Amino acid sequence: MLILIPVSRAKLTATDVETCEACWRQPVAVIRRAPGVRDLLCDTCATEGNPVRVELFPPLGIYRLTQRRLDAGKHSKPTPQLPPAQGPHPPRPTPTLTPGVPPI
């Protein structure tokens, strides 16, 4: 459930950004709240429902590495693959060379 709170009614901390986290052009006018999410957006981005462009400190703690990027990108869990074909195994036991007879 999303809740939109005007900035005039909310308290911003000293570390909050002053420009919209979605377009990075307009000043912050609305705080969008959801469970575990707090986005600072301009009026236009808030009404259009635009997502934020960069998560500075996502739950994973890595800059710009979001759960969506983990699921679809190069950081996703690798699928199990068979090893490349190595060719036939050498014969066992190794044939012994007899002196004076060329190998076949």
Tokens 């199990």 correspond to 80
Query: Would you state the pLDDT for residue 87?
Result: 83
Q: Using CA of residue 51, residue 57, residue 59, residue 65, what is the dihedral sign?
A: positive
Query: Would you state the pLDDT for residue 33?
Result: 86
Query: Would you write out the chain's pLDDT as a tens digit for each of its 104 residues?
Result: 678 888 878 778 887 888 888 888 899 999 988 887 888 899 999 889 888 876 655 555 555 666 666 666 665 566 778 888 888 877 777 667 777 777 66
Query: Would you state the pLDDT for residue 65?
Result: 61
Alpha-carbon distance 98 to 95, whole Å?
9
Does the global pTM surpass 0.75?
no
- Cβ within 8 Å of residue 65, ≥6 positions away: 58, 75
* Alpha helix stretches (DSSP H) within 31-85: 43-48, 67-72
